[in-house]
Structure 1
Amino acid sequence: MIEIERKFLVTSEDFKTEAIRENRITQGFLNTDKARTVRVRLKGDSGFITVKGKSTEDGVSRFEWEKVISKTDAEALLILCEKGIIDKIRYEIEVGNHLFEVDEFFGENAGLIVAEVELSDPNETFEKPNWVGEEVTGDTKYYNSQLSKKPFLTW
């Protein structure tokens, strides 16, 4: 239940031609406390509720618990979420032995594109695609929970 991931800004839209899947995601936060966040997500016809713990000092890993819920339940819970619903398309791209998830944001976060890669070990090496730019792992302003409070267009 420990999530290990690295996060990067994306420098071009070249990833779109390499995507094997894409999904529209709507998500909100029932709680955005620094020690824990509780997220509700609607992805296609599926709903999810996720609890994330505080990140390690380097921002690479943190506790994550997620369960599938019905679309109806997710829609009902989104109404209860704090202000600042996130709207994005997630693209999945296979690069070497890893899966990169690239989020293209809309609404108040339009113009922001971020890539994440999940790892099995914090020191694991991985191939970086040419569209990956500056690493922003651990920079909390790029966390979705923070983007819901301080959107990209306000920076």
Structure 2
Amino acid sequence: MALEIERKFLVTSDNYKKEAVSKERILQGFLSTHPERTVRVRIKGKKGFLTIKGKSNKEGTTRFEWEHEIQLDEAEALMRLCEAGVIEKTRYNVKVGAHIFEVDEFKGSNKGLQIAEIELTTANEAFNKPSWLGAEVTGEIQYYNSCLSKNPFSKW
């Protein structure tokens, strides 16, 4: 159990791809998208995860997060119980200075959307901003994966 402190940004170009140290396909669905908590099932590569996230603070930077690795077959079974709107994306991990940006390139009904996230140890921790980093969307609920599953980018 931990507090997750992260900031989110739009991405202005594909230049992050040549800087990526790794990439992975991710499928995720939501067992619950209640405003007070989300319960997510994720298949990342050949691993499964169950994650519970609490409500964000008013700035959108910090919230409770609990994540546990589960068997792949369990994750596949739980995916079949998820609410409509499974998220499909490729995640690129890009090292910038002392931090790793997770850049998600969305597929399917969210195709065209690219979001970079950075996890921090404090909400106002300094970090280097790469040239491909665009407008900050931290706390803008429509960019949360749980919202993208119900109101995909293609419908905006």
How far apart in 2 are the matches of 1:61 and 1:126? 17
In the alignment, which residue of structure 1 is the partner of 2:130? 129
Alignment of 1:11 onto 2:19: no
Alignment of 1:80 onto 2:89: no
Q: What's the offset of the Cα at 1:90?
A: 0.3
Q: Which aligned runs of 4 or more in structure 1 are off by greater than 6 angstroms?
A: none
How many residue pairs match? The answer is 155
Alignment of 1:99 onto 2:100: yes
Task: Determine what percentage of the aligned residue pairs are the same residue.
Answer: 59
RMSD over aligned Cα atoms: 0.3
In the alignment, which residue of structure 1 is the partner of 2:47? 46
Q: What's the offset of the Cα at 1:44?
A: 1.1
SS in 2 for 1:127: coil
Q: Residues 42-70 of structure 1: CA distance to partner in whole angstroms, max 9, x if unpaired?
A: 01110000000000000000000000001
SS in 1 for 2:23: strand
Q: TM-score, normalised by structure 1?
A: 1.00
Alignment of 1:65 onto 2:66: yes
In the alignment, which residue of structure 1 is the partner of 2:3? 2
How far apart in 1 are the matches of 2:22 and 2:78? 26
In the alignment, which residue of structure 2 is the partner of 1:111? 112
Q: TM-score, normalised by structure 2?
A: 0.99
Q: Residues 97-132 of structure 1: CA distance to partner in whole angstroms, max 9, x if unpaired?
A: 000000000000000000000000001000000000
How far apart in 2 are the matches of 1:6 and 1:43? 21
Q: Residues 66-92 of structure 1: CA distance to partner in whole angstroms, max 9, x if unpaired?
A: 000010000000000000000000000
Structure 1 unpaired stretches of 5+? none
How far apart in 1 are the matches of 2:40 and 2:79? 9
How far apart in 1 are the matches of 2:124 and 2:155? 34
How far apart in 1 are the matches of 2:89 and 2:126? 28
